[in-house]
Structure 1
Amino acid sequence: MPIIVNLDVVLATRKMRLGELAERTGITVSNLSILKTGKAKAVRFSTLEAICSALDCQPGDLLQYIPEDKSPQ
């Protein structure tokens, strides 16, 4: 998938664990883990807003688009 979630990177730079983020946002550790590992199929804006608020970051700090290789095989 060409969308990469950099939640682990932002957490590391903030020296915060997933459990602390869960407490600050009200989002379960399980749901944050799904997002962190890139297994999420969608993200609600309210979830993104809560994470950005707790981590004092922008959505672009958390999400990155990397195009798939389109070269012929």
Structure 2
Amino acid sequence: MPIVVDVDVMLARRKMSVGTLAERVGITPANLAVLKNGRAKAVRFTTLAALCEVLECQPGDLLRWEPDAPVQPSDEEPADLTS
């Protein structure tokens, strides 16, 4: 997935444990682990706001976009779209 969650980076910078962050944010350590390990399909803005408040950071410090691997060109000739 092209969205990468860097909660672990901010935890290290703040010298905070996962358990402490989960407690302060008000989510379970298991749900925080899902987010931290990149298995989350979505995150609520309220959760993101709470993470930013506790970690004293911006959403961009926690989330970043990485493009997928480049698309390989096809062996087929492109269709003529001018007709």
Instruction: Indicate whether the TM-score tops 0.5.
Output: yes
Indicate yes or no: 2:43 matched with 1:43: yes
What SS does the corresponding residue of 1:70 show, helix, strand or coil? coil
Q: Which runs of 5+ in 1 are unaligned?
A: none
RCO comparison, higher one (Cα < 8 Å, 6+): 1
Pick the structure with greater CA Rg.
Answer: 2
Structure 1 vs Structure 2: percent identity of aligned residues?
59
CA drift at 1:71: 3.1
Residue 27 of structure 2: SS of its match in structure 1? coil
Report the number of matched residues.
73
TM-score by length of 1: 0.95
- The residue correspondences of 1:1-20 to structure 2 (distance < 5 A) are 1-20=1-20
Hey, which of these two has a bigger chunk of helix by percent?
A: 1
